[in-house]
Structure 1
């Protein structure tokens, strides 16, 4: 009776929530400028606000003139002062949390989350579920158990500011009505050894009525594989009431075939776009492609055409200026004190009013050793199209340039771990090369002009990417290996896992 009541209440809440959300979808372009000016006004007496003349900002154009695009290194001197307990530096007061993330050039990054910003992290996830329930007209999953594959919820303190991984921070804010249904246990969640943690999660969940499972695709697959190996059954046989998978962190499409094979039955998928800097978007209609951009969640967005990114005087477009099917570097100003912050993600709009996006890559994850500037979206779409013509299945892949092959022309080298290898790898290679040429005219010109030869495929052993991640200390719920690079740092290490 209690579960029946909970299900029906969730359905009513969801429909009311979606109706209310229609307002921000209609007014997103106007609301964005109002939001920016409100953020500037709130922070005008902070150190950053005083240094950047926030008192005299009256428009988006004023803001763009006075505040340059920044990365973490640019904001680091301010963040270091915040870490020492100083208030009113980037935002009023001190942050409620620091989300600690791994960096490359900067070492660990400390992303501030203010008391105003934290509720939006939770609201984004809740809104994704409410939109799903309303569209599905079904909230059965609230009656079963739910699992979130995430980092440890244990936190340290940096001058009184609670610090930890974002997923661990969020674990402290799960609504009470979901807590009783939530797995794994606290003891399991705080385990740092990821493999041992997943083994323990399997033990805790294998006999439960799992109805919702959330996590990034590579680690969902790891969890599902351990379950299927142990029971000799597909996931839908183990969890017949599993209704929904919520995923984020990477593009889901390259993992879809593998996931569907492991699941062995129909499960709805909702994709999301969360980060330490904010909860940006989610799939508001699980039956359609594209993620709804959240324009009323304390974040002002700017979009830099990818071909101009990093150049002096690059265009900084707002929501009203964007074009469909074009790649933009995402720049954020947030109610946690990040100002014109380049997050490193690349998005493309596939719909306006409401504004829906695809995450098409990372500004630092591309291959352009020969001027081709191939991005993640292009390689993921190319391999997806090639797999449609071949009865094969890819576990994971990485693309890197081979500039000095020793003999012959240079080429793109694809390191691919197949779950099911194509019968004719050479034919698959030709199709993959053709599909990439269709998606990137610069690459096509380099091939047709005999500057590059066709791509090469290097076959990797089973579990190669898992073992590589483990060897680099990158095994865990929020870590993922870049799909492509402009150098051979990862490629040289993957050489050890070739067949």
Structure 2
């Protein structure tokens, strides 16, 4: 066992013991974060505008600071981008994390000297939690690959700016940097396909032990490796033992990925975003992610059905319940205040506080009042594939098809299969039945003949990849929305499929 693997065990035990203090006192930990960030931001423009000096309780905070998304806070973000100081947090941000927006176009999320440790330590502590729980640390002596965006940074308003994964690349601890692949030069390649070719050249003969990235892009890496060598991943990288991922639900990709690997390996799910590193999986036997309550982020939770109300209920950590969908709202030492990140979460446990990411506020289908969410379509697909074990898929998304004739509208599932079902009609029928079980409103619309059963539109292999390429979103941290309430994504995919 090498020095890194050996020393990681006592360090993992130290971090575990340190975390137990806030895990066992979650409400107190969050109150301390709340008071600390309010006090530090009192003299910022945002703090003065919202009377931070007079806020004593969460109830005061709710009255003073409304929930807003990026567009709602754009005036303040624009001041930051213009180089102003003391806007939402003292001084100027250390970085601006550039991420794709919607109506706002590109978003620039501040990362401050106070908040950068949340991003770096969150990922580190996820690995240490794994070491502590399993006792397995040999992976730290091998090579590790992090499929990420370019680490090259530009400047906006005198602030270094780039993709979060690229920013994080500059803060990889020195003791891991010698293990890290690909090289800095390769990571700087913007074109995903060229970058992937170079990554393969640099890693194909290395002792890869940890691979990290968003599942569909990791699968593309695996596919290309297997085509080039004619071998499964376990034969290319015999010591590969840990897969780290985040950003999307792994379940739709799990089967194909482990078939590609050729053996079972451990995996760790992370919940990172440009706005903060929120949670990680700390037990192999539990899919719930441990919410980080002592990392500079104060959390609020809005029941999803109230999210679009004028004055929605805003709960703190001690008030949430298991198995309820909440919109996640954060205030942090990055200078984000009652900021809706757009994700929905559901607690699987409150002792300790563990959650899963259940979807996106804006990603749903309710063209007919059904309000089907990502968690439901993913679960329906997974349950169906469990019954059709020979089926493999690459990617899928769901959109409404609205007809003027009663009973002729339906949900269209655009699916790229790598191994399609032999009987597509039977597969469709099972998928529809599973979605009816998961969403009572959808079931009512089907049984009431308002909607027809869902229909699957199989897409040629490569459609999703080619669509993402056409949008300039191939590789890196980009994700395909699982479902949408209009047909813009569906029509884009169909155009690509027919071209």
TM range (shorter): over 0.9
State the shift of 1:474 in Å: 1.1
Contact (CA 8 Å) 1:156, 1:162: kept in 2 or not? yes
Contact (CA 8 Å) 2:416, 2:459: kept in 1 or not? yes
1:186 aligns with 2:175: no
- 1:246 aligns to what SS in structure 2? strand
Which residue of the partner structure matches residue 70 of structure 2?
Answer: 72
State the shift of 1:99 in Å: 0.3
- 2:460 aligns to what SS in structure 1? coil
Which residue of the partner structure matches residue 52 of structure 2?
Answer: 54
Cα-to-partner distance string for 1:317-376 (whole Å, 9 max, x where unaligned):
111111111111000001011000000001000111111100000001111101111110
**Matches of residues 112-131 of structure 1 in structure 2 within 5 Å?**
112-131=110-129
Contact (CA 8 Å) 2:406, 2:450: kept in 1 or not? no
Contact (CA 8 Å) 2:407, 2:451: kept in 1 or not? no
Q: In 2, Cα distance between the equivalents of 1:162 and 1:371? A: 45
- 2:34 aligns to what SS in structure 1? helix
- 1:388 aligns to what SS in structure 2? helix
- 2:113 aligns to what SS in structure 1? coil
Q: In 2, Cα distance between the equivalents of 1:156 and 1:43? A: 27
Which residue of the partner structure matches residue 307 of structure 2?
Answer: 309
Which residue of the partner structure matches residue 251 of structure 1?
Answer: 249
Which residue of the partner structure matches residue 432 of structure 2?
Answer: 433
Which residue of the partner structure matches residue 493 of structure 1?
Answer: 492
Q: In 2, Cα distance between the equivalents of 1:406 and 1:374? A: 22
Which residue of the partner structure matches residue 232 of structure 1?
Answer: 230
Which residue of the partner structure matches residue 220 of structure 1?
Answer: 218
**Matches of residues 136-285 of structure 1 in structure 2 within 5 Å?**
136-285=134-283
Contact (CA 8 Å) 2:345, 2:357: kept in 1 or not? yes
State the shift of 1:266 in Å: 2.0
**Matches of residues 343-492 of structure 1 in structure 2 within 5 Å?**
343-390=341-388, 391-404=390-403, 409-492=408-491
Contact (CA 8 Å) 1:460, 1:497: kept in 2 or not? no
State the shift of 1:406 in Å: 6.8
Q: In 2, Cα distance between the equivalents of 1:438 and 1:150? A: 38
Cα-to-partner distance string for 1:194-252 (whole Å, 9 max, x where unaligned):
01101110010000000011101111001011001111111111000001111001111
State the shift of 1:297 in Å: 0.7
**Matches of residues 320-331 of structure 1 in structure 2 within 5 Å?**
320-331=318-329
Structure 1 residues 352 and 311, CA gap change in structure 2 (3 angstroms): same
Q: In 2, Cα distance between the equivalents of 1:490 and 1:474? A: 13
State the shift of 1:495 in Å: 1.6
Contact (CA 8 Å) 1:243, 1:267: kept in 2 or not? yes
Which residue of the partner structure matches residue 294 of structure 1?
Answer: 292
State the shift of 1:295 in Å: 0.7
Cα-to-partner distance string for 1:373-411 (whole Å, 9 max, x where unaligned):
111001101100001111211211010000127785100
Cα-to-partner distance string for 1:244-293 (whole Å, 9 max, x where unaligned):
11100111111111111111112110000001100000001122211100
- 1:204 aligns to what SS in structure 2? helix
- 2:269 aligns to what SS in structure 1? strand
State the shift of 1:181 in Å: 0.7
Contact (CA 8 Å) 1:132, 1:285: kept in 2 or not? yes
- 2:474 aligns to what SS in structure 1? coil
Contact (CA 8 Å) 2:321, 2:350: kept in 1 or not? no
Which residue of the partner structure matches residue 132 of structure 1?
Answer: 130
Contact (CA 8 Å) 2:9, 2:131: kept in 1 or not? yes
Match of residue 16, structure 1, among 14, 17, 21: 14
Contact (CA 8 Å) 1:459, 1:498: kept in 2 or not? no
CA root-mean-square deviation: 1.2
Q: In 1, Cα distance between the equivalents of 2:33 and 2:331? A: 10
Between Structure 1 and Structure 2, how many residues are aligned?
497
Contact (CA 8 Å) 2:244, 2:267: kept in 1 or not? yes
Contact (CA 8 Å) 2:289, 2:354: kept in 1 or not? yes
Contact (CA 8 Å) 1:461, 1:497: kept in 2 or not? no
Q: In 2, Cα distance between the equivalents of 1:142 and 1:31? A: 31
Alignment TM-score, normalising by the size of structure 1: 0.98
Contact (CA 8 Å) 2:94, 2:159: kept in 1 or not? yes
Q: In 1, Cα distance between the equivalents of 2:243 and 2:19? A: 23
